[in-house]
Structures are given as C-alpha cells and as structure tokens.
Structure 1
Amino acid sequence: MDKLRNMEVMVAVVEAGSFAGAARQLGISAVMVGKHIQQLEAHLGARLFQRSTRRNSLTEVGAAFHEDSRRVLEQVRWAESAVERSRAVPQGLLRVSAPFTLGTHAIAPLVADFLQRHEHVRVDLQLSDSVVDLAGDGFDAAVRIGQVVDEGLVARPLRPYRMVIAAAPAYLQRHGTPEGAADLARHHCLSHSVWQRRVEWTLRDGDETFFWPENARLVCNQGEGLRQAALRGLGLVMQPEVLLADDLARGALVPVMQHCLPLPRPVHLVYAPDRRQLPKLARFVEHVVGVLGWPPAVHGAA
C-alpha cells in the first residue's frame, strides 16, 4: 500500500469537497479515489468520512488525520525540492494563488508569458478571493490585496489596486454625468454583492465620505457581470481599473467622479523566505516584479 499516495488522495477529497472533485484534480477515476480511501481506512482501522448520498463529511478521526497528512505532504514536497534547489534551470510545478479579478486580467497573462520562457516549469494558478495558507495549502506564492499581516512572509510590493467609477456614454446622455458622491442617490448604480454586507470601498468627496448606494439597480457577485451591465447602459459601475481598462481606452465606458475614488489598496506578491532559493520561484518573482513592481523600475538608470 502506498501510504503517501493514499494520504494525498484523502487530502484532495477534503479540499475538493467530493470524491468526484478529487478525481478531476488528481486525474484519476472516482472509483480509484474510493479505493485509496478504503485502503487508508482499513490500514488505520477507523472511518475517515461519514458518507451519504449527497456529501462526504470528515469524522473526528478524519479531521485530525487530514491536518497531520497535510503537514506530512508539505514536508515531503520540501524534501523533494531540495534536489530542485541545486539545479540552475527552473523546473517543476509552481503553485500560485491570486484574487479572481486581478488574477484573471493581470496575473494570468504574466503566467502565460512566464511559461513561454521556461519550458520545464508547470504552473497551477488558482484564482480565488479567499486567502490561502501558503504552507498548509501547498502554494509557492500568492498575490494578495491589502496589508500583509503575516510577518513571516517575504512581501514584494506590486502596482496598487485602483478603482474606477464609469458608465456607458448612452447612460450618461440619458441621466447626466454625476459631479460628486451625493449625486449617486439619483443615479442607477450597479453593486457587488459583497458590498451589500457593508464590506466595501469608501468614496471621498471633500471632507465627506460616502458609501456606494445599497439600493442598487443590479447586484452581482462577480465584477464581470457588473461590467457587462454597465456596457449596456444599465447604470454606474465601480470596479477595479484592471477590469475596465480596455473599455475605458476604447470609449465604451467613460470615467466619472475621479476626485471621489477610494484610496488605492496595496498589492503584494508573497512567499515563504525558505523557498526563495527555488529557481522556478526566483524566476517567477523576478518576472512578476519586473512587470508589476511598485514603484516601477527605472530602466536604463545609472
């Protein structure tokens, strides 16, 4: 019995939320996933999952074994990387986490360029607005928006995350152009569902502060849905600059209330200091910082 493989499968089931999800992640059949779990339970003499027709949940023993297995697998990955650290050519799997919108429009293109330069590297890019545990979840690096609270990580500053308020020309022709934050009350506004829980950006107008209106014409849980509505003239949208940049450049959306924009948020590329020796990570950090580093590098300076 391959204990490490069984542990890897068990951890994949927990992280994917199902046997089928783990099968897709590992590239094996769901039946084979079940066999690995059965072997592990037989070896341990304990049930790891409570099975039902709808879901599989961890038993108390399973929860404890899952945490220990994650730590063991991370140690194995670190031991394997010792060989890689001695190689000059970047190679192997690089796991990177990034927020959804920033990752889609800024990090994913950089990853593609990086892979074109380094043919022996594979990248697993996970886009999610959840903050991952680098060591616990097996990531080499992560892009994070906001202040870095984990002082144990190396944090390289990237271009700040800026917001833009914009609308389609047709909407502005019908409803007029808002001059200040107080004008939002008479406009149709498009809102992210997170903002309905008052977790949002604060607008500034002189000495006053405002929140994006709660009585939004449309609420959506993804910025792309709000962007599509704004392009069709449904209302004002406030979304990251990186999401709306192309629309603004071609005039499909027009920026408004630029003096009221929320303060930009810091962005960092973070990684554990003991992994910076890995050629694949060192080259990736160099690549990302070279393009998105903040303040921008001055090329050709003496």
Structure 2
Amino acid sequence: MDRLTSMQIFVRAADLGSFAAVADALRISPQMVAKHIAALETRLGARLINRTTRRQNLTDIGRSYYDRCRIVLAEAEAADAIALEMNATPSGIIRVNAPVTFGSYVLSPFITHYLGCYPETQVELTLNDRIVDPIEEGFEVIIRIGELADSSMVAWSLKPYRLIACASPAYVAHYGLPEKPADLQHHACLVYGIWSPSMPCRWIFQQQGKTEEVRPEGRFRSNDWKALLHAAVEGYGVTLGPEDVLRKEINEGRLVQVLPGYEGPARPMHVLVPTGRKQTVKVQCFIDALRKSFAAGS
C-alpha cells in the first residue's frame, strides 16, 4: 500500500475518532481503513491505535507518529504545490486559523468570495482563540489579533480590529444613552469572557487623546461573543464588539451605537505564515487577497 495514503488515513482516523467516520469522509470501506492502519503497524512493528468495540485511542507511539505524519503530509503537499507553480492559477487546500468571532462574522464572507474567484482552491478554516503552532498543527495561514510576540513567523499588518459599544433601540429608550464612559457603571453591560476579581474586564475609550477606562458589570457574561450580541439585540444591555459586525446591526436598525463621540479599543491584527517555508501560489494569492480586503489604514 502507498505509505503516504496510509499516513493520511491514519491521521484522519486519529482526528475523527473512528474508522467508520474516516470511511464516510474518504468514501472507502471501513475494512480498507483498517488495512491501511494495519499496514503501517506491520511496517513499524508497533501498535498505533488501541481499538475496542466502543472507542479507540492512540498509543504513546501512535501519538508521536501522528505528530510526525502531519508534518510529513504538509511537506508532501507543499512539494506538490511547488512543482505546480508554473501554473499561475491557485489550487489546492489552504489551511487557515483565525480567532472565533472575527472568523465567524468577518473572515467567513471573505473566504466564500475568495472561493468564488478561485474555484480550484479549498479552504479549511479552524477557529479558536488560543495561540496555535503552525508547524505542529499544520496551518499555512494564521490571523492573530493583539500584539505579536512570536518572532518565528512572517507577519503582515491588516487593519486594526476596532471595537465599539452598542445597545438596542428598546434598551436606549428605557434606560437612556450614556454621555460618557463612566456612565456605563450605571448600565447593564454584556461582558465578554469569564472574569475574576483579580482579572476584571476593562473597556477603554479615547476622546481627543484622553483615555478613560471602565470596568463593566452586568448580569450576563460569556466567553462566546455571539451570545452577547443576541442579548444586546434583545435589549438586555450594552455590548462591546467588533465594529465590522456591529455596523451591519446598526445600519439595519437592530442596534444603536453607544458613546459615538469616543473611540473604542483598537487592537492590531496581522496575517502570519511560518518562517523559512517557501510560499506556494495558493498561499501567496490568499494572503494578497487578505491584505487587499483588510488593508491597514482602510
């Protein structure tokens, strides 16, 4: 059996958790999945996956082999892509990682438009708010919000991730509009994150170079901003969220901006790729499109 194919099937088996799921994803039989895993185990002389009728899990050797397989498969795909660079049309899978809220609301529409422009490309988008390792986890393009501290990546600046405060028209009609940031202390605020007394949430606003900090309080907190957006639209308080998302809600009349005379927090945003890896046509084209759509200063 082809070893790269067997490695690919092994990685999918580890990711999906069952041979049946791999069979469905790759449109092969579960028996063929088992044969590929068995071929690897025979070649290595070691068991990679412990299997029972109810569950499966990687052995210690299996976990180490899984990590290396992902790197090998990524490098094999990169080699194939480099060999095809004579073709100017981007093609192949682009593995992208981005923060959850930005990825769900802002990046996803960009990706669907991009796929429409380049029909031979595919995008695998993974969303989470932790710092990922692009080599170990197989990501080719990463978007990060906040200050950069990682020198092992090549970075390009995108436009800042700006936040504004909003509330529903019904909430404003009942409780009024705050005139200054300090007035938010007397309003129900929808707080992103699960904060502790030792790490309180801070909302920072600026006006004419003067900074004002507020420690918002409210009855509803969440580590998923989508839940807070829903609560704000339903009239349960003031939310602080990405301007690119909230501007649509404002334009459609579901929310109004709070403290429009103040600038909300703005965080730097970058697109990054691993250092030392030759950029393929598919990745370079994707990055160029990102930088054009989210240009710094726009």
Q: Shorter-chain-normalised TM-score: which range?
A: 0.7 to 0.9
Cα offsets for 1:175-212 (capped at 9, x unmatched): 22233444334322222344469485543576653333
**How high is the TM-score relative to the length of structure 1?**
0.83
In structure 2, which of residues 248, 252, 255 is the aligned counterpart of residue 246 of structure 1? 248
Partner of 2:125: 125
Moved more, 228-237 or 41-50: 41-50
Instruction: For residue 13 of structure 2, give the secondary structure of its aligned residue in structure 1.
Output: helix
Matches within 5 A, 1:82-93: 82-93=82-93
Q: How far is the alpha carbon of 1:262 from its aligned partner?
A: 5.0
- Between the two proteins, the alignment pairs up a number of residues equal to 294
Q: 1:292 to 1:9 in 2, by over 3 A?
A: same
Is structure 2 residue 14 aligned with structure 1 residue 14? yes
Q: Distance in 2 between matches of 1:263 and 1:142?
A: 22
CA shift for structure 1 position 261: 5.8
Q: Secondary structure at the match of 2:84?
A: helix
Conserved 8 A contact 1:84-1:91 = no
State the shift of 1:160 in Å.
0.8
Q: CA deviation at 1:243?
A: 2.3
Matched with 1:300 is: none
Contact 1:154–1:270 at 8 Å: present in 2 too? yes
In 2 relative to 1, CA 3–287 (structure 1 residues): closer, same or farther, beyond 3 Å?
same
Tell me, yes or no, if structure 1 residue 279 matches structure 2 residue 260.
no
Alpha-carbon deviations, 1:140-192, whole Å to 9, x = none? 21211112333232211111111121111111221222334443343222223
Query: Which structure 2 residues correspond to residues 120-269 of structure 1 after superposition, within 5 A?
Result: 120-195=120-195, 198=199, 200-204=201-205, 209-213=213-217, 216-258=218-260, 262-269=264-271
What TM-score, normalized by structure 2, do the two folds share? 0.84
Whether contact under 8 Å (2:232, 2:238) holds in the other structure is yes
Distance (Å, rounded) in 2 between the aligned partners of 1:282 and 1:276: 10
Runs of 4+ with >6 A deviation:
none
**Which residue of 2 is the match for residue 299 of structure 1?**
none
**1:72, CA displacement in angstroms?**
2.0
Contact between 1:203 and 1:212, CA under 8 Å: does it hold in 2? no
What SS does the corresponding residue of 1:85 show, helix, strand or coil? coil
Aligned residues: percent identity?
34
**Which deviates more from structure 2 when the two are superposed, residues 94-103 or residues 269-278?**
269-278
Structure 2 counterpart of 1:232, one-letter code: E
TM superposition shift of 1:275: 4.9
Structure 1: which amino acid aligns with 2:106? A
Query: Cα distance 1:22–1:258, how it changes in 2: closer, same or farther (>3 A)?
Result: farther
Per-residue Cα deviation, 1:71-108 (whole angstroms, up to 9, x for no partner): 22232222212212232222222222222221222222
SS at match of 2:164: strand
- In the alignment, what sits opposite 2:2? 2
Q: Deviations over 1:120-150 (max 9, x none)?
A: 2222233333333223322221211112333
Question: For the residues of structure 2 that align with 1:25 and 1:131, how far apart are their CA atoms?
Answer: 28
Matches within 5 A, 1:56-71: 56-71=56-71
Deviates more, 1:253-262 or 1:193-202: 193-202
Structure 1 range deviating more: 127-136 or 190-199: 190-199
Q: In the aligned structure 2, how far is the partner of 1:199 from the partner of 1:48?
A: 45
SS in 1 for 2:241: strand
Tell me the CA shift for residue 253 of structure 1. Answer: 0.9
**Using the alignment, how far apart are the partners of 1:201 and 1:84 within structure 2?**
50
Does the C-alpha gap of structure 1 residues 20 and 195 become closer, same or farther in structure 2, counting only changes over 3 Å?
Answer: farther
Residues 234-243 or 86-95, more deviating: 86-95
Q: Retained in 1: the 8 A contact 2:185–2:216? A: no
Q: Are the structure 2 counterparts of residues 292 and 208 from structure 1 closer, same or farther at C-alpha, using a change threshold of 3 Å?
A: closer
Match of 1:74? Answer: 74
RMSD: 2.9
Alignment of 1:284-295 (within 5 A): 284-295=286-297
User: Residue 165 of structure 1 contacts residue 261 of structure 1 at CA under 8 Å; is this kept in 2?
Assistant: no
Query: How far 1:232 moved relative to its partner?
Result: 1.3
- Give unmatched runs, 5+ long, in structure 1: 297-302
Q: Taking structure 1 as reference, are residues 138 and 105 closer, same or farther at Cα in structure 2, changes over 3 Å only?
A: same
- Aligned-partner residue type, residue 157 of structure 1: S
